[in-house]
Structure 1
Amino acid sequence: MTLLHFSILFPFLFAILVPALYRKLRFIPTGWFVLPVPALLFIYFLTNIGTTMNDGTISSTISWIPSLGIQFTVYLDGLSLLFSLLISGIGALVILYSIYYLNGENEKLNNFYVFLLLFMGSMLGIVLSDNMIIMYTFWELTSVSSFLLIGYWHHRKKSREGAQKSMILTIFGGLCMLGGILLLNQITHSFSIREAISQSAEIMNDPFMAGALILFLLGAFTKSAQFPFYIWLPDAMEAPTPVSAYLHSATMVKAGLYLVARFTPVFGMAPEWFWIVSLTGLFTMFWGSFHAIKQSDLKSILAFSTVSQLGLIMSLLGVGSAALQFDSIDDNLYIASIVAAIFHLINHATFKGSLFMAAGIVDHETGTRDIRKLGGLMSFMPVTFTISMIGAFSMAGIPPFNGFLSKEMFFSGMLSVLKLNFLQAESWSILFPAIAWIGSIFTFLYSMIVVFKTFTGKFQPQKLKKKPHEAPAGMLISPVILGTLVVLLGLFPGLIAKSIIEPAAGAIFPKLQAHTGAFPVHISIWHGFTVELLITAGVIILGILGYITLRKWQAVYKLFPEKLTLNKAYEKILHAAGKGSNKLTNFYMTGFLRDYLAYTFAFLIVLAGGTIIYKCAFSFYPKDSAPIGIYEVILALVMAAGSISILFAKSRLTAIIALGAVGYTVALFFVFFRAPDLALTQLIIETVYVALFLLCFYYLPKLQKRSKSVGFKARNLVISIGVGALVTVIALSANSQRSGETISDYFLKNSYTLAGGKNVVNVILVDFRGFDTMFEITVLGIAALGIFSMIKLRKAKEEDR
């Protein structure tokens, strides 16, 4: 196992130790033991910057299921390194912040840190996996672990509902992505991402391409909260602030962006990719910023701002894919859009992480996040105010902070669409800079609301649950570090231009980089008087005017009826699905075993019988069949007589004896067929069943004759005859269509040489069908745990009484 593999598994392995550390060392906050995990990972990834700067990569493979082409292959390049640094670096700061934010006396912090480590390892698994099946496995693990983190305060109804909503939507997207992976595998005959990139030209000419493209984008859009799937993100704000700062600013929501960036070399040559990604991102950017204005909860404002910022980055990735639409690249306009997306992704992690932490401090020290109750906190919380101002001004795109630089580059990317000359883009291209400009005005507005509605204006102590004061120094360390990065990257963007941004851009466009050489990244705070600067000036001027006149025009939001929102649509769909499933369940869950058997057998007749008829699969060649002896005929007649006797039995005792006779006759068949171990097993089971049945039914009342309708009896007759006939037809057809060596011959020849066992049945169960046996044991284990839990819970309730 290499260090790269271990970097993914390290958080999972350490999560096993957290409960023990929590119990044994209660006098030390558990977070101090967890903090070294992301810190060490961050240091390790930093040491690989030199490799990616020189266009180098690191790859390693562990064989897992080679017969299916599934290998645990990890791959580190500029793009995966960027995300790994964000996951581990922001993770370390969030854990440090959580040590002071969460109250260890009232919180089950062992659960919190276990969930957080599971999420961290899953995110690293996504960005470092080259095999798409492995990536999908970690993808769904992020959905599960984020569900646990969002619902961490499970005693709150809103936390449970927010966790459920995020789970439903992101798991739906994950299943769509799995469908895309399988379609892509049909085209490339590989699950390797690098192999898919190398076959991108062939993928474009395949009929499965469009389906795979759509399915991948559904996975990305649900995870990155793009319209219309963004509705889970605001509800996820019910999670503790450290979770919001980690999942919703730097990691989970960025997974969808990573997926689009990683698969741009695969699908980027398709015009559909450009239009869907760029327009969805741009509209999401506008929609999120527009709806952020009407929120009154600080974290809700930041949630919608996250939706908006994610849309901004997504639109840049879509516009950047236009570089793949041309045979030759003479200018780097569209590559610059990719550079802008990467730069703003980094900037967003810094300013949004600091803003979430600042909002958490305000809530922690005042007891509320409602901006209608806040105001005048600047004198009480000067450090928090400074952090919030830096983060909000960066988000608004005001110089000299890093958000200003990437926002300028965003405008450049949207203006570059005006120069497109394919797919009649000229007639639609004006929408790109226009929507970007309007959305940026709303971005400026909600950024000002976050700062000034909270820290300036009238102080309202009577509306606060606590007397406000500055947070402890330990709680301020993480947001101060992020705020410092906001300023440093704004003044000195060259610190990461060559080392991080350039290798990441090269990883997104590997073929273009190989053709044109390295992509030079030049980011400076001053580019002269440009159109982009003029647009920014317009944003600031109109944003200030909009903030001053906010009360006069904010009533426009009342024009949008609550009943027509996407949240209401989600609730109605969920309610209708629940109501429909209840009706369906009540229809077939009658409480009678005979009905369940009827459904099962009827389905078998329709599915298997219909397939045989449709495929004309029945054939019968008796010359290859073994001769039937007189003893077999007699046993068959005995079984038939016993089965028929059950139907006419007037007492349970008679029915049980007749059923036992059938079972013992089957055991005799095994004896004649030279299977003594099966015969012995059948005899033992049959004896136990008959004894148990007699013991149980002895205490039941006598059978009472019940009249059944003709239709009921006819249904049972048709099903029983149909099942018998179907099984007979399948057995005869299977025996008559032997085209090669039988599986029994294979087992007989190889049981000893391959598995070292002379008892063929045992070898089949333990070795050849080892997974079946393991899963059967697992099912029994789960059932046993469930029964034990129910008994334990019932016992606990009785003790409480």
Structure 2
Amino acid sequence: MTLLHWATIAPFLLAILIPFLYKYARAIHTGWFVLALPLVLFIYFLQQLPVTSGGGVIHHTVPWVPSLGIDFTVYLDGLSLLFALLITGIGTLVILYSIYYLADKSEKLNNFYVYLLMFMGAMLGVVISDNLIVLYVFWELTSLASALLISYWFHKEKSTYGAQKSMLITVFGGFAMLGGFSLLYVMTGTFSIRGIIDSVDLVTSSALFLPAMLLILLGAFTKSAQFPFHIWLPDAMEAPTPVSAYLHSATMVKAGIYLVARLTPVFGGSPEWFWLLSGFGLVTLLWGSLSAVRQKDLKGILAFSTVSQLGLIMSLLGIGSASLYYGNGTETALYTTATLAAIFHLINHATFKGSLFMTAGIIDHETGTRDIRKLGGLMSIMPITFTISLIGLASMAGLPPFNGFLSKEMFFTGVLNATTLDIFNMQTWGILFPVVAWIASVFTFVYCAIMFFRTFTGEFKKENYDKHVHEAPIGMLISPIVLGSLVVIFGFFPNLLAYTLIEPAIVSILPNITIQDINIYHWHGFNTELFMTLGVIAIGTLIFLNMKRWVQTAMYLKERDPLNRVYDRSLDWLVKGSQGVTRVQMTGLLRDYFVYMCVFMILLFGYTAIRYNAFAIDTTNVSAIPPYMWVVTAIFIAVTISILFINNRITMIIVVGVIGFMVALLFVNFSAPDLALTQLMVETVSVVLFMLAFYHLPELRKEKSKLGFNLVNLLVSIGVGVLVTMLALSSLALGNEANFASISEYYIENSKVLAGGYNIVNVILVDFRGLDTMLEILVLGIAALGVVAMIKLRMTGREDV
């Protein structure tokens, strides 16, 4: 394995050690042991910048399941390096912040850091893996780890509810995405993302193109909280603030953005991809900004702002994908601006959103509340938190001179350029793009103003707080200060990122497209974008100043997203439906379970045989049946039928034992003495044990059963018997017809050569079918544990109280 492989799995390795560090080094906060890893990884990835900025890539493969085309292949280019730096860089600051935020010794820090490291490793695996199946494994690990982090305070009902919701929605999307990956494999014959991009013509010309796209986007939309799947994100706010800062700024919600960007070379240039990304992105942008305005909790505002900002980035990726339709034509430069804006805003969002979540956590930590109806007047009491929040909120609102202003102006440029598209019916619907973008930006300004002025200005009312309010300790301030500083630095010197991070990422998203020189600056003259910004500030200010007229409206009073009703009712219907199915299926009667299995077997095998014309009878190569076998068969049938008329348990057990001994006789006749010996031993032990157990039971009473009950039993029995007989005869006939070589010859020839054994049956069981034998041993082991548990169990009589 290469260093890049080790960098990907390093968080998992450290997570294994955390419980031991926590146990034997309780005097030191566990976070200090964890902090070094993301810092080292961040430095390592920084050292790869010269490679990717020069157009190079790092690509290594470790075989995993080569026969299925599944390998642990790592691929580091401009796009994956950008995300790796965000994951490790923000991760370092989040862990430093968490050391002071979770300073209470009652916290189970071993659990917290194990989950956090697992999450970090899973995200690195997502962005660095080149194999779709490996990417999917890491993808689902992010869902699992995030659910564990959200439910960290599991004693709170809202925490477990939020974790369950995030798990259900994102895993549902993940399953759909796996289906899309499978379709890509069917079309191209490879799970490698590089290989699929190289075979893009096979994908675009296939009838499976659209189904694969829809399934993959379902996974991306659920993970990146696009409308209407965004409802899990606000409930994830029940996680500790360091988790919220990490999930929202650099990791979980950005996974869908990454997937869309990575697969744009495959699906980009098609009208479906363009409309799905830009359409859902703009709706999410607008819905998130409107929803954020009516929130009363600081983290609630930030949660819906994340939804809105993710919609902005998604819409830009959709608009930018139009450049793949034009190729290197004259229009291309217009639409690559949208992709440039998406990448730049991705970075900017990580900086200002990470700092804002941390300041929200500081306010909660030092005041005991996040409710903006109680907050106010904190400007002079918490000056550093006030300054960081001012910078972050101004950037998110799109105000100069901060980095958010630059990417927001580029966003306006992107949606304005979209109106000039002469494809995808944009001549008709294109005008909606800048309109929706502008309205959403107005409400973005409004919720930023609400969060700032309601928290830091006004009168400080000491009675609203349960704590003595003061500024946070310096250790908790370092991380938001660093992120706030980056907001300012990237605002004044944006071109620091132009050719180191932004251009290599764009090249990864839009291969074979000539990228114009990137030069990001503040002043572009009095253009449409500037007037749109001035309009946002003016209208947004008017709305904010007239908020008193809004606070009594139904929209403002309902903080909870109305789409949550759909989720809750769907979950209720699912539970009720599963209970109904369970009542029908889990009757507690072995007879019913056996009937279900037999009917399923009859339908499945019967349909398959009829569908593929597999029923056939050919007696040309069947040997003659000796007379004594007719006698054995007649005894076999007679004894079996006699069971129906026996009313005594002991007699019934003896008769069933006779059937088993007759089976052993058949094995002897077919030259299988080892099987016959096994059958005799098992049958003897079974008969003895059954007789010992059943001897002490009450006398068997024959209950009268209804005709329908007996008829079902008869039909199922006849169906199974006929089906098994026909399958046996058909396999013989079709084998003769196709002239298949007997598999027994293979075992005879290879038992000694491949397995080193002369007893062919033993070799088959231990070597050729070793996995089956291992699972059988596992079943026996589970049964043994069940027996031990029953023996050890001592009932007190109060278990059901």
TM-score by length of 2: 0.95
Q: Report whether the alignment pairs 1:459 with 2:456.
A: no
Any idea what SS the aligned residue of 1:60 has? strand
Per the alignment, residue 512 of structure 2 pairs with: 511
Kept in 2: contact 1:625–1:735 (CA 8 A): no
Q: Distance in 2 between matches of 1:553 and 1:101?
A: 35
1:274 maps to: 274
Find the counterpart in structure 2 of residue 47 from structure 1: 47
- Name the counterpart of 2:743: 743
Render the CA deviation track for 1:24-81: whole Å, top value 9, x for unaligned.
1111111111111211111111111110011100111111111111111111100000
AA aligned opposite 1:230: H
With over 3 angstroms needed to count, the CA separation of the structure-2 counterparts of 1:471 and 1:200, relative to structure 1, is same
* Shift of residue 676, structure 1, vs aligned partner: 3.2
The equivalent of 2:160 in structure 1 is 160
| Greater CA drift, 163-172 or 638-647 | 638-647
What residue number does 1:500 align with? 501
Cα 1:84–1:677 shift into 2, 3 Å: farther
Task: Determine helix, strand or coil for the equivalent of 1:686.
Answer: helix
Tell me the equivalent position of 2:487. 486
CA distance in 1: counterparts of 2:273 and 2:198, whole angstroms? 18
Q: Alpha carbons of 1:99 and 1:179: their partners in 2 closer, same or farther (altered >3 Å)?
A: same
Q: How many residues align?
A: 796
C-alpha distance in 2 between matches for 1:789 and 1:55: 62
TM-superposed CA distance for 1:665, in Å, is 2.3
Matching residue of 1:303: 303
Q: Which residue of 2 aligns with 1:685?
A: 682
Residue 341 (structure 2) pairs with residue 340 (structure 1): yes
1:585 corresponds in structure 2 to: 582
Residue 700 of structure 1 deviates from its aligned partner by 2.1
5+ residue gaps, structure 2, are none
1:71-117 Cα distance to aligned partner (Å, 9 max, x none) = 11111100000111111111111111111111452121111111111
Once residues 645 and 670 of structure 2 are traced to their aligned partners in structure 1, the CA distance between those partners, rounded to angstroms, is 31
C-alpha deviation, 1:388, in angstroms:
1.2
| Equivalent position amino acid for 2:242 in 1 | P
Per the alignment, residue 323 of structure 1 pairs with: 323
Work out which of the residue numbers 591, 594, 600 in structure 2 matches 1:594. 591
Q: Is the 8 A contact 2:375 2:455 kept in 1?
A: yes
The alpha carbon displacement at 1:415 in A equals 0.5
User: In the alignment, does 2:621 pair up with 1:624?
Assistant: yes
My pick for the range that moved more, 678-687 or 720-729, is 678-687
Amino acid at match of 1:372: R
Distance 1:439 1:562, change over 3 A: closer
RMSD: 2.3
1:653-684 alpha-carbon deviations (Å, 9 max, x no partner): 12222222222222232233333333333333
Is the 8 Å Cα contact of residues 396 and 447 (structure 1) preserved in structure 2? yes
Q: In the alignment, which residue of structure 1 is the partner of 2:245?
A: 245
Counterpart CA distance in 1 for 2:671 and 2:621 is 20
- Displacement, 1:776? 4.9
Identity %, equivalent residues: 59
| Deviation per residue, 1:272-328 (Å, 9 max, x gap) | 000110010011000000000101111111100000000000000000000011143
Q: 1:441 to 1:563 in 2, by over 3 A?
A: closer
Judge conservation of contact 1:11–1:117 (CA < 8 Å) in 2.
Answer: yes
Give distance in 2, aligned partners of 1:622 and 1:21. 72
* Matches of 1:228 and 1:185, distance apart in 2: 29
Q: Given that residues 289 and 446 in structure 1 are in contact (C-alpha distance below 8 angstroms), is that contact kept between their aligned partners in structure 2?
A: yes
**2:17 is matched with which residue?**
17
Q: Which residue of 1 aligns with 2:636?
A: 639
CA shift for structure 1 position 471? 1.2
The answer (yes or no) to whether the contact 1:204–1:269 under 8 Å persists in 2 is: no
Partner Cα distance (2:334, 2:789) in 1: 61
Query: Match for 1:665: what amino acid?
Result: M
Deviation (angstroms), 1:150: 0.9
Deviations 1:548-592 (A, max 9, x none): 111213444438989992100110010011011111211222111
Q: Write out per-residue CA displacement over residues 369-425 of structure 1, whole angstroms, 9 at most, x where no aligned residue.
A: 111111111222111111111111111011111111111111111001111001321
Q: Which residue of 2 aligns with 1:265?
A: 265
Matches for 1:441-480 after TM superposition, within 5 Å: 441-480=442-481
Deviation of 1:648 (Å): 1.9
Establish whether residue 734 from structure 1 lines up as the match of residue 735 from structure 2. Answer: no
1:531 pairs with 2:532:
no
> Counterparts of 1:262 and 1:318 in 2: how far apart (Å)?
13
Amino acid aligned to 1:355: L
Report whether the alignment pairs 1:546 with 2:525.
no
Provide the rounded CA distance (Å) in 2 between the counterparts of 1:786 and 1:442. Answer: 61
1:233 aligns with 2:230: no
Separation in structure 2 between the aligned mates of residue 750 and residue 120 of structure 1, nearest angstrom: 48
Aligned equivalent of 1:757: 757
Whether the 8 Å CA contact 2:616–2:730 is kept in 1: the answer is yes
Rounded to whole Å, the distance in 2 between the matches of 1:99 and 1:285 is 34
1:492 Cα deviation from its structure 2 partner: 0.7
Deviation track 1:197-220 (CA, whole Å, cap 9, x = no partner) reads: 112223111111010011111010
Structure 1 counterpart of 2:73: 73
Check conservation: 1:505, 1:519, Cα contact below 8 A.
no
The answer to which of 664-673 and 317-326 deviates more is 664-673
Taking the aligned partners of 2:785 and 2:294, their CA distance within structure 1 comes to: 48
Measure, in 2, the Cα distance between the counterparts of 1:555 and 1:763. Answer: 79
Structure 1 unaligned spans of 5+: none
Find the counterpart in structure 2 of residue 413 from structure 1. Answer: 414
Quick one: structure 1 residues 50 and 371, their matched pair in 2 at CA, closer, same or farther if it must change by over 3 Å? same
Partner in structure 1 of residue 706 of structure 2: 709
Q: Name the SS of the counterpart of 2:249 in structure 1.
A: coil
Change (3 A) 1:287 1:797: farther
Q: 1:288 to 1:796 in 2, by over 3 A?
A: farther
Do the aligned partners of residues 136 and 100 (structure 1) sit closer, same or farther apart at CA in structure 2, a change above 3 Å counting? same
1:792 is displaced (CA, Å) by: 9.7
Distance 1:493 1:783, change over 3 A: farther
**2:661 corresponds to 1:660:** no
2:99 counterpart of 1:99: yes
2:404 is matched with which residue?
403
1:431/1:770 CA distance change after superposition, 3 Å: farther
Q: Is the 8 A contact 1:271 1:325 kept in 2?
A: no
Q: Per the alignment, do residues 696 and 389 of structure 1 end up closer, same or farther by CA in structure 2, a change over 3 Å counting?
A: farther
Q: Using the alignment, how far apart are the partners of 1:433 and 1:79 within structure 2? A: 27
Question: Aligned partners of 2:186 and 2:697: how far apart in 1?
Answer: 58
Structure 1 residue identity aligned to 2:711: A
Do the aligned partners of 2:409 and 2:529 also contact (CA within 8 Å) in 1? yes
Q: Is the 8 A contact 1:358 1:384 kept in 2?
A: yes
Conserved 8 A contact 1:282-1:312 = yes
**What code does the residue aligned with 1:350 have?**
T
**Distance in 1 of aligned mates of 2:39 and 2:253:** 22
Pair 1:750–1:202, CA change in 2 (3 A): same
Deviates more, 1:77-86 or 1:597-606: 597-606
Deviation at 1:788, TM superposition (A): 8.5
Normalised by the size of structure 1, how large is the TM-score? 0.95
CA distance in 2, matches of 1:791, 1:504: 63
Matched position secondary structure for 2:253: helix
